Amino acid sequence: MSTHQTNDASLSSPSSQPVLEEGEDEYRPLPHVWSGATLYEPCRLSLDKLKSVNSSGPLCSQAYEREPEESAEAQGNDGLTRDVPTSSSIGPQEVHISYSSDKGRNTRSDLPHLYYNRPWPEGGNDYSSGAAQVSDDGDSNEKQDGLNVLTIPTFPSSNDTSVSPLTPSQNYIQSRSSLFKMAFLIITCGTQLIVQSQLSMVMMPLHATAEWLGKPNNSGEMSWMAASYGLTVGMFLVMAGRLGDIYGPRLIWAMGCIAMIVCNIGSGFATSAIGFDIARAVAGIGAALALPNALAILGRTYPPGQTRNMAFSILGALGPAGFWIGGLLGGLFAQFGHIKWVWWFTAILTALFFGVGFYVLPPDSLCPPVSKAHFDAIGAILLSLTLGLFNFVWNQAPLVSWSTAYIPVLLVTSLIFGGIFVWWERKVGKGALIPIEVLSKQSLLVYLSLWLGWMSYGTFLLYTTLFIYDIRGYTEPLTMVFQLAPLFPAGVIAALIVPPLIRHLPNHFIFLLSMVAFIACNIIAATASASTENGEYWKGTFWSLIIGTFGPDLSFSTGQLIVSNSVSHEFQGIAAGVVSMITNYSIAIGLGLTGTLEYYIRGSGDTVDDMLKGYRASFWFATGLAGIAGIVVALFVRMPKQTAGLKDVHAV
C-alpha cells in the first residue's frame, strides 16, 4: 500500500495559512488538528470538488451545504467520481477515487486522505516551503489532474475531544427518510403558521366576531378582541424560549400546543366578550410556548447550511402567508354564519400537529438541558410586567385618551420595571433570562431594526385591512380576504428566493432590502386612491401587498439565521425567543403608537374623509419607522455573506 507523507511544516500551523476572501482558489484552516497536520477546507468555488472520507466526523458529507447523495458513488462538478464510505466508525478507512487523466482512467486505494484542487506550482511538485510527498514503492511522484494529495494517516478516536462531530439531534434527522424530513419541516415551520393565523382569524372578520359576542360597533371591545392574543404572545416569548432551553424544547412546545387546543375550544364556546378575551389571552401564552421552541428544535437539528437557510426562509414566508390563511378561514366561517367554528377547526388542526410532532420531533434527551438552577424567575416576572404594562398603555390610550389618570401612571410604572429588569439581568450574569451571549453589538442593532421594521409592517397590515373595509366599502369577509390574497403567493416567492440571496449577497444587504420593502409598501398604501374604479386596486394596493411581503420574509429569515448561527446550542431557544418576541411584540406596540396618532389626527370625525385622513397619517408614520430602521442598517449593520464552506462544516 502507498504511504503518503507531508513534510510541509507550515501545514501544522493554521496561522501560517492566510484566510483568503471567497472566490480565491485557496483554503481556509479548520480548528481540527489530526496527527499534527491542519486540515484545510476549500472555499465555496471548490466545495463541490471535495467529499469527506468519514461519514460521521466533522468533515462528513452531510455536513456540507450540498446535500449528500443517496448512493455511495458521488460525482463532483470536476468530473471526479468518488466512492464515499458509509461506515459510521471513526478510524482509518479506504477511499477509492477514480479520476480521468491524459494517461487514461486510474484508480487509487489508499489510507484516508484529503484531495484539494490547488494548482501545483510550475516546475514540479514543491509546495511552498515544503513538499507534499507521495512515496509509492516504485511509483513516481506525479500530479494527478492538478490535484494535490495531503494524507492524514489516522483519524481521531471517538473519545478525542479535539474534534466535534454532528450533534445527536443533527444526526437524528440526517438518517431519516425524505418523508420523515418533510413531516419534520411541516411541524416546525407550520407552528409559525398556526401562531400567526390566529391573529387574523379575529382581525379580518372582526365585525362578525363582535356581533356574535353582542358588542357590535364597539371599537374599544373590538380592539381588545384582536389585541389580547398578541399581547400575551409578546409577553411570554422570551420566557418560553428559556424554559425550552432548561426543560427541553419538545416538552415546552407540546405544552404550548395543549394550551392552544384547550383555549381555542374555549373561544368557540365563549358567550361574552370578556370570556373570549381571556381565552384568546391564554391561547397567546400557548402560542408563545410553542413558537420559539419550534424554532429552537429547527436550529438544533440542522447545522448551518443550505437546508437551514431554506427552513428559516419558509418560516419567514409563513408569517404573512399564515396571516392570510387565518383570515381566509375566519372569513369563510363568518360568511356562512358559523364564526365560532373557526376556533374549533383550529383546535383540531393544532391537535393533529401535536400528535405528529411527538413522533417526528427529536427527543429532548438528545439535547442536554441547561441546569434548572439557571432559570431567572425574577427576571421573567420583571420582563412580563414591563412588556404587559407597556403594551396595555399604548393600546388602551387611544380608546380612553392619554388624559385618563391611570394611563401615564402605568406607563411610568412599566418603565420603572424595565429599568429594574436591566439592573437585575446585569447582576445575575450567566443565569440571566436573556444571556449576554445573545446581546452582542451587531445583535442589538439587528433587534432595533427588526423592532422598527415590524412596527411599520403591523401598521401596514391593519390599516390596509381597515382601508379596504371602511374606505373602499368591501364589507363582506370573503371579499376582503380576497383583496389581501397577494400575501400568500408573494410569501411563497419570497421563501424561494431567500436562500439563494443568502448564499450570494452579504446578509446586511439582504437585511437592508427588507427595510426598503417596508418603506415602499407603506408609501404605496399612503398614496393609494380611495376609489374602487379604474383598477385602482391593481395600481396601488395589489403592489403594496406584494412588495410588503418581502419585508418580513427577508428580515425574519436573515435575523433568525444570524442569531441562530451565532449562539451555542444551549441558547437556541432563548435566541429564537428574542427574535420572535421582537417581531410579534413590536407589531402590538406599533399599532398602539399609530392608534394614538390616528386618534389625534382624525379627532372626533366619523366621516369617510376623516377616517381616510387618519389612515394616511398612520401609513406615513409607518414609513418613517421603516426609514429609521433602513438608516440604522445601512450605516451600522454589517453581516457578511454566509460562506458555504465555512458555515456548512460542523465545527466547534
The tally of CA atoms less than 13 A away on the side-chain side of residue 343 is: 21
Q: Is residue 164 domain-resident? A: no
User: Which pLDDT score, from 0 to 100, does residue 160 have?
Assistant: 39
Residues 365 and 391 in one domain: no
More confident residue, 279 or 310: 279
Full domain range(s) for residue 111: 3-156
Mean pLDDT of 607-634: 92
Residues 458 and 515 in one domain: yes
Residues 101 and 21 in one domain: yes
Q: Is residue 531 scored above 80 in pLDDT?
A: yes
Of 105-114, 421-430, 615-624, the range with the lowest mean pLDDT is 105-114
Of 57-66, 183-192, 199-208, 212-221, the range with the lowest mean pLDDT is 57-66
Average pLDDT, the chain: 71
Residues 253 and 317 in one domain: yes
Residues 26 and 100 in one domain: yes
pLDDT digits (tens, 9 = 90+) for 298-319: 877 877 677 777 777 777 677 7
More confident residue, 79 or 486: 486
Residues 385 and 369 in one domain: no
Q: Is residue 360 scored above 50 in pLDDT?
A: yes
CA distance 388 to 12: 56
User: Which pLDDT score, from 0 to 100, does residue 536 have?
Assistant: 86
User: Which pLDDT score, from 0 to 100, does residue 453 have?
Assistant: 95
Contact 558, 585 (CB under 8 A): no
User: Which pLDDT score, from 0 to 100, does residue 544 have?
Assistant: 95
pLDDT grade for 243, boundaries at 50, 70 and 90: confident
pLDDT digits (tens, 9 = 90+) for 464-517: 988 988 898 888 878 888 888 898 888 788 877 877 887 788 888 888 999 999
Residues 277 and 185 in one domain: yes
User: Which pLDDT score, from 0 to 100, does residue 460 have?
Assistant: 94
pLDDT digits (tens, 9 = 90+) for 539-559: 899 999 999 989 988 888 787
What is the helix (H) or strand (E) element at residue 207, kind and residue range? helix 206-212
CA distance 124 to 352: 65
More confident residue, 595 or 12: 595
Reduce the DSSP state of residue 42 to 3 states and report it. strand
Q: Is residue 240 scored above 90 in pLDDT?
A: no
The conformation of residue 40, written as its DSSP 8-state character, comes to E
Q: Is residue 223 scored above 50 in pLDDT?
A: yes
The total of structural domains in the chain comes to 3
Q: Is residue 529 domain-resident? A: yes
Residues 515 and 641 in one domain: yes
User: Which pLDDT score, from 0 to 100, does residue 254 have?
Assistant: 94
Mean pLDDT of 244-253: 87
Residues 250 and 126 in one domain: no
Render 467-533 in DSSP notation, one character per residue: IIIIIS---SHHHHHHHTTTHHHHHHHHHHHHHHHHHHS-HHHHHHHHHHHHHHHHHHHHH--S--S
User: Which pLDDT score, from 0 to 100, does residue 286 have?
Assistant: 95
Residues 393 and 537 in one domain: no
CA distance 579 to 293: 12
User: Which pLDDT score, from 0 to 100, does residue 452 have?
Assistant: 95
Q: Is residue 64 domain-resident? A: yes
C-alpha cell at 283: 391561547
Mean pLDDT of 620-624: 95
pLDDT digits (tens, 9 = 90+) for 117-160: 333 334 433 333 333 333 333 333 333 333 333 333 333 333 43
User: Which pLDDT score, from 0 to 100, does residue 253 have?
Assistant: 94
Q: Is residue 77 domain-resident? A: yes
CA distance 134 to 125: 10
- A 10 A CB-CB count for 416 gives 13
CA distance 143 to 405: 84
pLDDT grade for 177, boundaries at 50, 70 and 90: confident
pLDDT grade for 236, boundaries at 50, 70 and 90: confident
User: Which pLDDT score, from 0 to 100, does residue 373 have?
Assistant: 58
CA distance 463 to 593: 13
Residue indicated by cell numbers 466526523: 57
User: Which pLDDT score, from 0 to 100, does residue 159 have?
Assistant: 40
Q: Is residue 341 scored above 70 in pLDDT?
A: yes
Q: Is residue 162 domain-resident? A: no
Of 167-176, 316-325, 463-472, 595-604, the range with the lowest mean pLDDT is 167-176
Domain boundary among 404, 424, 444: 424
Residues 106 and 225 in one domain: no
C-alpha cell at 635: 450605516
Closest CA to 630 of 460, 510, 516, 554: 516
Closest CA to 462 of 597, 632, 573: 597
Q: Is 479 exposed, middle or buried (0-12, 13-18, 19+ CB in 10 A)?
A: middle
User: Which pLDDT score, from 0 to 100, does residue 442 have?
Assistant: 76
Residues 495, 565, 628, 486: what is their CA dihedral angle, to the nearest 10 degrees? 10
Q: Is residue 579 domain-resident? A: yes
pLDDT grade for 573, boundaries at 50, 70 and 90: low
Q: Is residue 396 scored above 60 in pLDDT?
A: yes
Mean pLDDT of 405-410: 92
More confident residue, 367 or 237: 237
Q: Is residue 216 domain-resident? A: yes
Q: Is 636 exposed, middle or buried (0-12, 13-18, 19+ CB in 10 A)?
A: middle
Contact 367, 301 (CB under 8 A): no
Domain boundary among 108, 127, 156: 156
Q: Is residue 364 domain-resident? A: yes
More confident residue, 254 or 479: 254
More confident residue, 64 or 218: 218
Contact 568, 304 (CB under 8 A): no
Q: Choose from 66-80, 377-391, 411-425 the range with maximum mean pLDDT.
A: 411-425
Contact 117, 25 (CB under 8 A): yes
Domain boundary among 390, 424, 458: 424
More confident residue, 167 or 531: 531
Residues 368 and 386 in one domain: no
User: Which pLDDT score, from 0 to 100, does residue 351 have?
Assistant: 95
Q: Is residue 279 scored above 70 in pLDDT?
A: yes
Strand 73-75 versus strand 81-83 pairing type: antiparallel
- A 10 A CB-CB count for 563 gives 24
